[in-house]
Amino acid sequence: MNIILLGPPGAGKGTQAQRLVEKHGMRQLSTGDMLRAAVKAGTPVGLQAKAVMERGELVSDEIVSALIGEELDSLAPGQGAIFDGYPRTAAQAESLDVILASRNTQLDHVVELEVDEEALVERITGRFTCANCGKGYHDTFEQPRQLGVCDKCGGTQFKRRPDDNEETVRTRMVEYRAKTAPILPIYDARGIVGRVNGMADIDHVTAAIERILAD
């Protein structure tokens, strides 16, 4: 099964993808994570993407579609993919169709996380992740069970993203509204969009997604 998690910055795409990976053994394909890894490694893609990401604008379609194609090639046979933060433009949606068709597979569900934009700034400015395993947390909504220790790996180092400040988040939201939200009708026309109330607590959102995937 291949699914897209669609929603504005802070909607909970990464949080829910991590849960689906644990439960179903699917692979999370986050173009944001791939780009951050490229920036950290100082690759040519990373050098090109760094400033764009810090401004909260979108990286070029060619770069992200190439990253997705490479990652898909490393999937185990039959392993499902969760597209997290991709596609984000009409051109990327077209590329994804081509990429999947060339691998004899297709999209099964697009899950739209519906959220109230004003709450997203608080979600994003409170977000942190384990520096060792990448597990996501939040200052208010999802603290580790033992303060300062990662639930998943026991790590004690945490990090915050350079683009998680209010000004950049506002730009990311404008980009979402202008370029990403308009791709929903493409998937609506295929009858594969399921909508979830992303303002519910994290466990409720997971349960609602599970109901869509079971359909």
CB-CB contact of 68 with 74 (8 Å): no
The Cα-based distances of 21 to 84, 85, 111, 124, 211 in angstroms read 12, 16, 15, 22, 16
Catalytic annotation, pick one of 36, 88, 123, 135: 88
- Check binding of 198 to Mg ion (CB under 5 A): no
Residue 10's binding partner among Zn ion, Mg ion, ligand AP5, none (Cβ under 5 to 8 angstroms by kind) is ligand AP5
Burial 98-107, CB ≥16 within 10 A → b, else e: ebbeeeebeb
CB-CB contact of 86 with 29 (8 Å): yes
Cα separation, 112 vs 77, in Å, equals: 27
Cα separation, 98 vs 140, in Å, equals: 41
- Check binding of 127 to ligand AP5 (CB under 6 A): yes
Q: Which residues pair with 6 in a beta bridge?
A: 112
Cα Rg of the chain, angstroms: 17
- One symbol per residue from 183 to 212: x for binding ligand AP5 (CB under 6 A), - otherwise; what is it? ---------------x--xx--x-------
Min. distance of Cβ 122 from ligand AP5 in angstroms? 8
Compare residues 80 and 198 and give the one whose CB is closer to ligand AP5. Answer: 198
- The token pair that represents 109 in the structure block: 């569900």
- Check binding of 128 to Zn ion (CB under 5 A): no
- The token pair that represents 126 in the structure block: 């409170």
Q: Phi first, then psi: what are they for 132, rounded to 5°?
A: -90, -50
Compare residues 114 and 188 and give the one whose CB is closer to Mg ion. Answer: 114
Min. distance of Cβ 78 from Mg ion in angstroms? 25
Residue 13 annotated to the active site: yes
Q: Which of 53, 93, 150, 183 binds ligand AP5 (CB under 6 A)?
A: 53
Residue 190 annotated to the active site: no
Segment interacting with ligand AP5, rule: CB under 6 A, options 57-65, 73-81, 143-151, 188-196? 57-65
Q: Which helix (H) or strand (E) holds 59?
A: none
* Pairing label, strands 109-114, 2-6: parallel
Residue 135's binding partner among Zn ion, ligand AP5, Mg ion, none (Cβ under 5 to 8 angstroms by kind) is Zn ion
Q: Known catalytic residues? A: 13, 88, 127, 160, 172
Residues that bind ligand AP5 (CB under 6 A): 7, 9-15, 31-32, 35, 52-53, 56-59, 64, 85-86, 88, 92, 123-124, 126-127, 136-138, 141-142, 172, 198, 201-202, 205
Residues that bind Mg ion (CB under 5 A): 14
